[in-house]
Structure 1
Amino acid sequence: MENNSNVYRLQGLSCTNCAAKFEKNIRSIESVEDVELNFGASKMKVIGKASISQLEQAGAFDGIKVLPERQRQTESKESMWSKRENLQTTIALLLVFAGYGFYFSAGENSPVTIGVFLSSILIGGYGLFKEGLKNLAKLHFDMKTLMTIAVIGAAIIGEWAEAAVVVFLFALSEALEGYSMDKARQSIRILMGIAPNRATIKRENELLEMDVEDVRIDDTLIVKPGQKIAMDGEVILGQSSINQAEITGESIPVLKSSGDEVFAGTLNQEGYLEVRVTKLAEDTTIAQVIHLVEEAQAERAPSQQFVDKFAKYYTPAILLISLLVAVIPPLFYDASLGSSVYNGLAVLVVGCPCALVISTPVAIVTAIGNAARKGVLIKGGIHLEETGRLKVIAFDKTGTLTKGKPEVTDILSFSNLDEQAILSISAALETHSQHPLAAAILRKAGKEDTAGYKVEDFQSMTGQGAQAIVGNTLFYIGKPSLFTGMFSIPDNIQTKIDDLQLQGKTVSLLGTNQEIKGLIAAADQVRKGSLSIIEKLYELGITKTVMLTGDNQFTGRAIGSELGLSEVQADLMPEDKLQVIKKLRESYGKTAMIGDGVNDAPALASANVGIAMGGAGTDTALETADIAFMADDLDKLPYTIALSRKTLAVIKQNVAFALGLKLLALLLLIPGWLTLWLAIFADMGATLIVVLNSLRLIKAKYSD
């Protein structure tokens, strides 16, 4: 970040037009070089020098409050109707009712009737006129300018009741839009409240309570049962189950003990822990997530870019149409000037682009926030939209579709040794070995099974296996090719080896220089639920699933067949995976690559959407991927695609609602049914429909 820049959080930022004006006002401050305003996150970066009072003065028109980024905010549970603007709106409504009472009793032109309606207009529209008149003087035509012209015009032609209703409906629309955007932004406030602000630190055997900003790396953090962990770190003492749902979306608590990583904002359930702090407060995983979510919400999605460009031409077009509707009929068709001006004002009101402008950002903000709370980090609206259009998904095998740790699947004896003896002798040999299957055999055997076997004269045989004396017998363990150089492997054993290898399993033989004593086969196990996840992807409309692996064809085909994948590409180097992704994009369209975010970086970058698994605590995954699953959990994939598709559908619905409702209102102009209050009702209705439709994404779940 630049030395002369500051980041602030904003309160009271109510609409996109207000945000644009606020940004413009700040740019006009002489000492400010540049400003980057993030409407979705209510956050702003100012490059240059400006005091908070100067910034708040620039936002005084909308009552915007400016707070330093690191200042703790106390969220007051303020009632929607206790705000001054909303109180004015309520009074305006009561005066409208009173005005209509006098309208029917004393007449529409009675001074009392006009006075009550005028009071309603001035009280309900005070903020509107204050800004609208300023904008009009500068020939700046935003929504408030258009509304001000419409209300003044209605008053001039004597439509006091209409003007009062229009002002009230506009004020109500503003209040509800502000409330709805606040609900959409709530996802970030929830994330910000996950990690505690205070931590208990042990320094030189003394317990200190301090702000998390004051905690240093390598401090010892004390975490009692039932407490939230305040900092990222490594457990150095104790054992406990940690609920990581807030960070990773995992529903099942994870057992943590010495050497394990823990994250700020997770809940310690039953044990006492001492944790060595490994990251400063601003660098914790949750801090990175908050930052990336805010950046994502600021980024304009393709739909939003289109809408913004469209609005640039749409607003002048509406102004021109409004003028023509007001002027042409009296000039050429002997129509009443008053009714024509009235119709022109109605067109002006119904044409306000508010609903159209907000149609995309509110959906994007809501969806990205929803995903973050469920442990899915989507790093921009463009990636959200691209995910909704995916046709092909390519998977890295190891650690994505499979667990990444081979497990022993078969133990067979071909001699007087039983299966337990085969395992125990193999484990005793593998204790000293670097063979790929050594870890799997040792995990299967456990420590107690090797206790009775003493290993002497151990020798590793590079690329083949190992040999050692166990119980006065020289044993060999390794690939089948290790034994074919000593003797011919019997047909029945060779047949069994071939069968196991066809199943995608790796075979190790145990024997002497004269015979095969037994074999152990192991395979990387498919993740639990991988099959159902692939089935869900097909149900969601994914047309092709491809597995990319560096393993041999036998292993690849076995796993591909088990999971019902469309295609398996085996024996691939990282550069080969890149070429496969390019071909898939050319042949089938939008393609995603999902892996661990560290390996296969070229393929992840080349795909339309690169998805990394296990992002929590992994800086590389958070930085390189377009989407990161915070947990090592493939189950998030169908949810993310479903959410993206639902978001695309909501955006399309929003644009259709915003334009359709306005077009319908304009058509009412032909038979002369379009009134001012109906015009503002159409504008307000479109805005509310768009916002409420977008807020449905807050509740989007796995099953959607």
Structure 2
Amino acid sequence: MKKTNTQEYRLQNLSCANCAMKFEKNVQSIPTVEEVQLNFGAAKLTVKGDASIEQLCEAGAFDGIKVVPASSREEVHIPFYMKKENILAGISLLFVIAGYLMSVLQGEDHIATIGLFFIAIVIGGFTIFKDGFKNLFHFEFDMKTLMTIAVIGAAVIGEWKEGAVVVFLFAVSEALEGYSMNKARQSIRQLMDIAPATALVRRNGELVELATEDVQIGDVLIVKPGQKIAMDGEIVGGMSTVNQAPITGESIPVKKAVGDEVFAGTLNEEGVLEVNVTKHVKDTTIAKIITLVEEAQAEKAPSQKFVDKFAKYYTPAVILIAIIVAIVPSLIVGDWHHWIYQGLAVLVVGCPCALVISTPVAIVTAIGNAARQGVLIKGGIHLEQLGHIEAIAFDKTGTLTKGVPEVTNILALQGTSEELLIRLVAGVEHSSQHPLAKAILNYAENASIIIEKGIDFQSVTGKGAYATVDFQQIFVGSVQWIQELTDIPKDILKEVESLQYEGKSVVVAASKTTLLGIIAIADQVRSNSRSVLQDLQSIGIKNTVMLTGDAKPTAETIAKQLHLTDIKADLLPEDKLEAMKELQQQYGFVAMVGDGVNDAPALAAASVGIAMGGAGTDTALETADVALMADDLGKLPYTIRLSRKTLRIIKENIMFALGLKILALLLIIPGWLTLWIAIFADMGATLLVVLNSLRLIRIQK
């Protein structure tokens, strides 16, 4: 069976939401195209089927939409004064001014005056009328249809001057809308420019410069000081500090040596690095971030869905009101000219431009700002839900703590030496991925204890693990689990309890018949955990809960240090899921912060799942709704503040968009509404919405 071709493209000059819908329809009508998906926020087009760029450009020719391959970094920037629609608007303005001068000299009804205004209308409104008539013929009522009816109506009743001015002001409004969307989309363009387009690669003993698309996994990059790293990879030679701010938002450069992971788009500061490429260009962390940010902007937030649904009924309602205003008073008082004029003004003031962009321009700006700060928000819906959060649940290890535990106490029993205990336990833990296992292995390595890797390793979720070491089966895990296998004396249990009250995790080791000993491990609390929790409380998050698999005494010790409001300890992964459901019943909107791996069920069930350390962690990028790329808990208060600010701005935008129009419509009552006031109300609402949304760019950590 033939595989369907899917291609992605970037769009230029796409500024109007209604034009985007029409362009999508035009592309869908191409016979060889099976499916089309247009992402207005990211100006991106996905086409399933066969279509040439020429066909796609032709589909967007009605509004000057240009189509380029998604991989292309080429951006055709047309200066404001060179854009066709702006040139026509400028020429139209000249004829409007000439018409005004002629009206002063010869009067408004003079043929020369009318002629000048007529030329201004035709030149300035050519593209409007072309689409407006087509839409009218198909009974599609968008803003160009409304403007076409209003301007032609104004000309019919002899209001040539008003019609010409309205056409010019509408062109200005369109230019503002285009500027606003381009400004909001800059965040994606900046992300795309982070990684260099070429890389210096060593092949067959020679250095060659290649396009990143031609670099293969296993190639070795040579990165000099001051250069950006072109691909994700692992350092195989050299040592340096790397500025990872473009990916993670970290302001302080990170020391990197052989074996460390590096990301495309980060800056090598000091030494020469040799980097073994581990991912293709389309799979790098920055490529995934760009894709996820674009998808996030395509996903409609609840408020946007509401606005879209409202606009669907709003435009026909405006047309109905305009007809009523034009006819009903005229039948009563008989002043047909005046009330038809008022009806036309209602059509102009009813243009839904500002309302339609009130939400997407805010969402696009906020998500782009967050991405630059090292916070990946995977959709408008998650951005909005963050603003409603009443409680936050935290995993302990690697979230509130550093996630790098260290062995603090060793108690060997039954004649077992400390060295033998560590060797047996390390043999079991050699195949484990648990953070506590790593602490034991690190201790063994630092103490130069020779480790024999256990065989027949088995992990028991939430309890521990076992394997055969030195020809005997060794069990390593929680106190509760080992108690199921063998008796633990009361004095040892008391010692375990004492260590747990100190905030330490206790691992117990036993053979099938004998208790071998206990190892206490402590995971240090992150230096900023307490200040982050205080910051969260100051912005209104009163309920902070820790969900952990650790014993309750250990959890309580950390909870006291950090002033958490609640803890739930001794939890298996499925218990965390149940705990999350209980918290949601108790508080409503609850966020979960975890590592994106062990906490996947709870992250998925939370109102908003927030993963720590998204950079380089595919699971975190895929499972969480929000990823803190730098593994920095300090980004959490910023993210919630950004979300709440976005919610406020969206509400303000809707109020501006509707408020100014309602105010203008009220002028119908005394009969004061003019076409000028109507277009200024529409343009003013659009401008307010745009400027208000762009305030989100200024929000920093």
Following superposition, the deviation at residue 165 of structure 1 comes to: 1.3
Q: Is the 8 A contact 1:427 1:438 kept in 2?
A: no
1:627 aligned partner, one-letter code: V
Alignment-derived partner of residue 192 in structure 1: 192
Distance 1:495 1:581, change over 3 A: closer
Alignment-derived partner of residue 205 in structure 2: 205
Structure 1 range deviating more: 688-697 or 126-135: 126-135
The CA distance in 2 between the partners of 1:245 and 1:55, in whole Å, is: 37
Distance 1:144 1:498, change over 3 A: closer
Q: Is the 8 A contact 2:423 2:444 kept in 1?
A: no
The CA distance in 2 between the partners of 1:507 and 1:667, in whole Å, is: 73
Q: Is the 8 A contact 2:591 2:610 kept in 1?
A: yes
The reply to whether residue 99 of structure 1 matches residue 99 of structure 2 is: yes
Following superposition, the deviation at residue 635 of structure 1 comes to: 1.0
Alignment-derived partner of residue 60 in structure 1: 61
Alignment-derived partner of residue 598 in structure 1: 597
The CA distance in 1 between the partners of 2:42 and 2:441, in whole Å, is: 51
SS at the partner of 1:168? Answer: helix
SS at the partner of 2:523? Answer: strand
SS at the partner of 2:405? Answer: strand
2:364 aligned partner, one-letter code: V
Structure 1 range deviating more: 390-399 or 533-542: 533-542
The CA distance in 2 between the partners of 1:132 and 1:487, in whole Å, is: 87
Following superposition, the deviation at residue 507 of structure 1 comes to: 7.4
Alignment-derived partner of residue 563 in structure 2: 564
Distance 1:335 1:409, change over 3 A: farther
The reply to whether residue 554 of structure 1 matches residue 539 of structure 2 is: no
The CA distance in 2 between the partners of 1:39 and 1:536, in whole Å, is: 36
Q: How does 1:533-548 map to 2 (within 5 A)?
A: 533-548=532-547
The CA distance in 2 between the partners of 1:406 and 1:225, in whole Å, is: 34
Q: Is the 8 A contact 1:80 1:179 kept in 2?
A: no
Q: Is the 8 A contact 2:500 2:551 kept in 1?
A: no
Alignment-derived partner of residue 168 in structure 1: 168
SS at the partner of 2:658? Answer: helix
Alignment-derived partner of residue 122 in structure 1: 122
2:89 aligned partner, one-letter code: T
Deviations 1:545-590 (A, max 9, x none): 1000111111100111111111011111111111110011111100
**Greater C-alpha radius of gyration:** 1
Q: Give the number of equivalent residue pairs.
A: 662
Alignment-derived partner of residue 348 in structure 1: 347
The reply to whether residue 6 of structure 1 matches residue 4 of structure 2 is: no
Alignment-derived partner of residue 616 in structure 1: 615
The CA distance in 1 between the partners of 2:522 and 2:55, in whole Å, is: 66
Following superposition, the deviation at residue 91 of structure 1 comes to: 2.7
Alignment-derived partner of residue 36 in structure 2: 35
Q: Is the 8 A contact 1:427 1:442 kept in 2?
A: no
Following superposition, the deviation at residue 118 of structure 1 comes to: 2.1
Q: How does 1:325-474 map to 2 (within 5 A)?
A: 325-331=325-331, 333-407=332-406, 430=422, 434=426
Identity of aligned residues (%): 63
The CA distance in 2 between the partners of 1:62 and 1:456, in whole Å, is: 70
SS at the partner of 1:541? Answer: coil
Deviations 1:470-501 (A, max 9, x none): xxxxxxxx99x99xx99998xxx999986654
When the two structures are superposed, what TM-score results if normalisation uses the length of structure 1?
A: 0.87
Following superposition, the deviation at residue 2 of structure 1 comes to: 6.2
Alignment-derived partner of residue 658 in structure 1: 657
Gapped runs of 5+ residues in structure 2?
Answer: 412-416, 430-435, 455-463, 467-477, 509-517
SS at the partner of 1:403? Answer: coil
Q: Is the 8 A contact 2:229 2:267 kept in 1?
A: yes
Alignment-derived partner of residue 672 in structure 1: 671
Following superposition, the deviation at residue 340 of structure 1 comes to: 0.9
SS at the partner of 2:62? Answer: helix
Q: Is the 8 A contact 2:180 2:690 kept in 1?
A: yes
Distance 1:409 1:99, change over 3 A: farther
The CA distance in 2 between the partners of 1:433 and 1:316, in whole Å, is: 74
Following superposition, the deviation at residue 443 of structure 1 comes to: 6.8
Following superposition, the deviation at residue 136 of structure 1 comes to: 2.1
The reply to whether residue 504 of structure 1 matches residue 495 of structure 2 is: no
Distance 1:85 1:501, change over 3 A: same
Following superposition, the deviation at residue 111 of structure 1 comes to: 2.5
Q: Is the 8 A contact 1:199 1:209 kept in 2?
A: yes
Distance 1:432 1:583, change over 3 A: closer
Following superposition, the deviation at residue 108 of structure 1 comes to: 1.5
The CA distance in 1 between the partners of 2:4 and 2:623, in whole Å, is: 26
1:185 aligned partner, one-letter code: R
Following superposition, the deviation at residue 58 of structure 1 comes to: 1.3
SS at the partner of 1:525? Answer: coil
2:656 aligned partner, one-letter code: F
Deviations 1:388-408 (A, max 9, x none): 111111101000000112246
Structure 1 range deviating more: 315-324 or 49-58: 49-58
Deviations 1:93-121 (A, max 9, x none): 33333332333333222223222222222
The reply to whether residue 268 of structure 1 matches residue 268 of structure 2 is: yes
Q: How does 1:288-327 map to 2 (within 5 A)?
A: 288-327=288-327
Following superposition, the deviation at residue 236 of structure 1 comes to: 0.7
Following superposition, the deviation at residue 29 of structure 1 comes to: 1.9
Following superposition, the deviation at residue 642 of structure 1 comes to: 0.8
Alignment-derived partner of residue 287 in structure 2: 287
Following superposition, the deviation at residue 303 of structure 1 comes to: 0.8
Gapped runs of 5+ residues in structure 1?
Answer: 413-424, 465-477, 510-518
Following superposition, the deviation at residue 335 of structure 1 comes to: 2.7
Distance 1:446 1:53, change over 3 A: closer
Alignment-derived partner of residue 86 in structure 2: 86
When the two structures are superposed, what TM-score results if normalisation uses the length of structure 2?
A: 0.88
The CA distance in 1 between the partners of 2:506 and 2:611, in whole Å, is: 31
1:341 aligned partner, one-letter code: I
Following superposition, the deviation at residue 365 of structure 1 comes to: 1.0
Distance 1:428 1:326, change over 3 A: same
Following superposition, the deviation at residue 372 of structure 1 comes to: 1.0
Following superposition, the deviation at residue 432 of structure 1 comes to: 7.4
Following superposition, the deviation at residue 538 of structure 1 comes to: 1.2
Following superposition, the deviation at residue 143 of structure 1 comes to: 0.6
The CA distance in 1 between the partners of 2:557 and 2:52, in whole Å, is: 65
SS at the partner of 2:288? Answer: helix
Q: Is the 8 A contact 1:132 1:144 kept in 2?
A: yes
Distance 1:291 1:439, change over 3 A: closer
Q: Is the 8 A contact 1:431 1:442 kept in 2?
A: no
Q: Is the 8 A contact 1:428 1:455 kept in 2?
A: no
2:200 aligned partner, one-letter code: T
Distance 1:553 1:672, change over 3 A: same
The CA distance in 2 between the partners of 1:592 and 1:682, in whole Å, is: 40
1:556 aligned partner, one-letter code: A
Alignment-derived partner of residue 142 in structure 2: 142
Following superposition, the deviation at residue 456 of structure 1 comes to: 14
Following superposition, the deviation at residue 633 of structure 1 comes to: 1.0
Deviations 1:294-342 (A, max 9, x none): 11111111111111111111111110110111111122x1231111110
Alignment-derived partner of residue 472 in structure 1: none
Alignment-derived partner of residue 418 in structure 1: none
Distance 1:204 1:110, change over 3 A: same
Following superposition, the deviation at residue 409 of structure 1 comes to: 6.8
1:583 aligned partner, one-letter code: E
Alignment-derived partner of residue 248 in structure 1: 248
Alignment-derived partner of residue 133 in structure 1: 133
1:33 aligned partner, one-letter code: E
2:646 aligned partner, one-letter code: T
Q: Is the 8 A contact 1:376 1:636 kept in 2?
A: yes
Distance 1:238 1:94, change over 3 A: same
Distance 1:657 1:455, change over 3 A: closer
Deviations 1:596-628 (A, max 9, x none): 001121111111111111111111111111111
SS at the partner of 2:673? Answer: coil
Alignment-derived partner of residue 257 in structure 2: 257
Distance 1:455 1:336, change over 3 A: closer
Alignment-derived partner of residue 235 in structure 2: 235
The CA distance in 2 between the partners of 1:296 and 1:9, in whole Å, is: 16
Q: How does 1:580-595 map to 2 (within 5 A)?
A: 580-595=579-594
Alignment-derived partner of residue 46 in structure 2: 45
